Amino acid sequence: MDATSRRNRQLEAVLGAFPDISFVIDRRGHYLEVIGGVDERLYEDGRGLTGHTLHEVLPAETADHFLDVVHRALGSGELQRVEYTLSARQVRSLDNERRRSPRAGTPQWFDGRVLPLPGYEADEPVVLWVAFNVTERKALEEELRRLATTDDLTGLCNRRTALLQLGRLHQRARQGHSRLSVLLLDVDQFKQINDGFGHTAGDRVLSWVARQIEGVIRPGDLIARVGGDEFLIGLPDAGSGAAEEIAARLTQRIRGEALPFEGMDIPVTISVGVATAGVEDVELESVIMRADSALYQAKAAGRDCHRGAAPPGDIRPRPASAG
């Protein structure tokens, strides 16, 4: 056995012990070897790929992308890194039983490391493609992202995320490309609901109100829970008339139904303040303050209603006891 053959066998021995799967692929996209992938929780048996080409076993778009990565690695002589998703059902060389299994349709995330493999005995230049299954890491990243941006109780955006998104909408409105209205609403006498029915009922009310709002607003509108019982709605491309119509529909919808809870009916109403960004509203904060002032006016008017904002510069502070 010559030095090249010994080196290839050593490579196979080392990679074969890895839980992750590796492929030797030539410049034309042929799978010359499949090595490793011994962790059956992460990988299907890929030995059936050997002798096939990328385009024979993978969707055409995926195969084109992979072959481009192979060519970049061979052309540059440098390591290439590529993240991608792939499910067993997409791999045509697997037997039908594996492709029909329940987990076969679940996309898996892979972190591919692709580098030239000089000295390998083959008719064409080849690369070594090591595929690390990073599905669990991606799921954890997604969960951390969700926790950082989402209100756990209602599933809506949290305050921080809402203000970032609303800031972008306000910037567009300031540039003259669209209009923007902001609604602030809260649940009337929410403390009395908590005191009279319990905090579990209070949580149920907040989730229910969130669902009612989703049933009224338009696709693409922004909705967030920004405080204990306070919600924010951003309405891009909506002037004051359209915004107040949505506010009226919200109050009517929620007033018209009582929330069933443990054999009781909890009556729920909301108050809403509406503000539409004007040329004077250089800062987003001024729009939010005017909506908040309008919400106080709705509370002062007896609750279960909506009010439009005062003109810019005529903002009345909202007392802490507005409730």
**In the numeric block, which tokens belong to residue 151?**
């209100």
| pLDDT number for residue 95 | 57
Q: Which of 44-58, 215-229, 269-283 has the lowest mean pLDDT?
A: 44-58
| pLDDT number for residue 94 | 63
Confidence of residue 143 (pLDDT cuts 50, 70, 90): confident
Best CA proximity match to 292, nearest among 274, 306, 269? 274
Mean of per-residue pLDDT scores for the chain: 85
- Yes or no: say if 286 and 310 are a contact pair by the CB < 8 Å rule: no
Place of tokens 């074969």: 16
SS3 content of the chain, % helix, strand, coil (to 5): 45, 25, 35
Locate all alpha helices (DSSP H) within the chain, ordered by sequence. 3-16, 54-57, 60-76, 96-100, 135-149, 159-174, 190-197, 199-214, 240-255, 284-300
Between the ranges 84-98, 139-153, 192-206, 280-294, where is the mean pLDDT highest? 192-206
Q: Is the pLDDT of residue 12 over 80?
A: no
| pLDDT number for residue 283 | 86
Structure confidence by residue, pLDDT tens digits, 70-93: 999 999 999 999 999 988 788 876
Query: Measured between alpha carbons, how far is 299 from 130 in angstroms, rounded to an integer?
Result: 63
- Yes or no: say if 58 and 90 are a contact pair by the CB < 8 Å rule: yes
Question: CA-CA distances (angstroms) from residue 277 to 157, 162, 212, 312, 313?
Answer: 21, 16, 25, 9, 13
Phi, psi of 200 (to 5 degrees): -65, -40
Q: Is the pLDDT of residue 121 over 70?
A: yes
Question: For residues 309 and 3, which has the higher predicted lDDT (pLDDT)?
Answer: 309
Q: Give the 3-state secondary structure of residue 219.
A: coil
Residue 65's DSSP bridge partners are none
| pLDDT number for residue 142 | 83
| pLDDT number for residue 297 | 95
**In the numeric block, which tokens belong to residue 3?**
């030095």
Q: Is the pLDDT of residue 42 over 50?
A: no
Query: Measured between alpha carbons, how far is 127 from 69 in angstroms, rounded to an integer?
Result: 10
Whether the pTM exceeds 0.85: the reply is no
Write down how long the chain is.
Answer: 323
Q: Is the pLDDT of residue 160 over 70?
A: yes
Query: Measured between alpha carbons, how far is 62 from 69 in angstroms, rounded to an integer?
Result: 11
Give the type of residue at 73.
Answer: A
Give the type of residue at 304.
Answer: D
